Homo-oligomer: A and B are copies of this chain.
Amino acid sequence: MVPRYARPDMTAIWEPEAKYRIWFEIEAHATEKLGELGVVPKSAAEALWAWWNTNPEVEVEAIDKIEAVTKHDVIAFLTWVAENVGEEARFMHQGMTSSDVLDTTLAVQLARSADLLLQDLDLLLAAIKRRAEEHKYTPTIGRSHGIHAEPVTFGLKMAEAYAEFSRNRARLVAARDEIATCAISGAVGTFANIDPSVEEHVAEALGLKPEPVSTQVIPRDRHAMFFATLAVIASSIERLSVEVRHLQRTEVLEAEEYFSPGQKGSSAMPHKRNPVLTENLTGLARMVRSYALPAMENVALWHERDISHSSVERFIGPDACITLDFALARLTGVVDKLLVYPERMQKNLDKMGGLVHSQRVLLALTQAGVSREDAYRLVQRNAMKVWESDGTLSLLDLLKADEEVTAALTEEQLEEKFDLDYHFKEVDTIFDRVFD
Contacts and interface: CB of A to CB of B under 8 A. Distances in A.
Interface in A85-99: 90, 93-98
Given A235-B224, A294-B287, A144 B72 contact: no
Number of this chain's copies in the complex = 4
Interface centre among A148, A352, A386 (most CB of B within 10 A): A148
20 contacts: A1-B1, A94-B366, A149-B216, A150-B186, A152-B190, A164-B219, A187-B266, A189-B430, A192-B425, A193-B359, A221-B232, A221-B236, A235-B296, A242-B302, A253-B390, A271-B386, A276-B307, A279-B306, A283-B307, A315-B319
Given A2-B311, A97-B266, A163-B219, 8 more contacts: A95-B363, A147-B249, A151-B190, A159-B213, A187-B266, A191-B426, A284-B311, A286-B293
Contacts of A72: 264, 267
Nearest to A94: B363
Interface stretch (A17-25, A121-129, A371-379, A402-410): A371-379
Interface in A255-274: 260, 262-274
Given A190-B423, A269-B359, A362-B268, A146 B239 contact: no
A212 B312 contact: no
A43 interface: no
A251 B248 contact: no
A245 interface: yes
A11 interface: no
**A interface SS class:** helix
A352 B250 contact: yes
Contacts of A216: 142, 144, 149
A252 interface: yes
Contacts of A192: 150-151, 360, 422-423, 425-426
Contacts of A219: 160, 163-164
Interface size class of A (residues with CB under 8 A): 35 or more
A413 interface: no
B276 A145 contact: yes
B145 A307 contact: yes
Contact of A191 (B174, B274, B429): B429
B156 A434 contact: no
Contacts of A4: 314
A71 B142 contact: no
Contacts of A368: none
A169 to B, nearest CB: 12
Contact of A291 (B232, B290, B430): B290
A308 B292 contact: no
A160 B213 contact: yes
A427 B196 CA distance: 11
Nearest to A212: B433
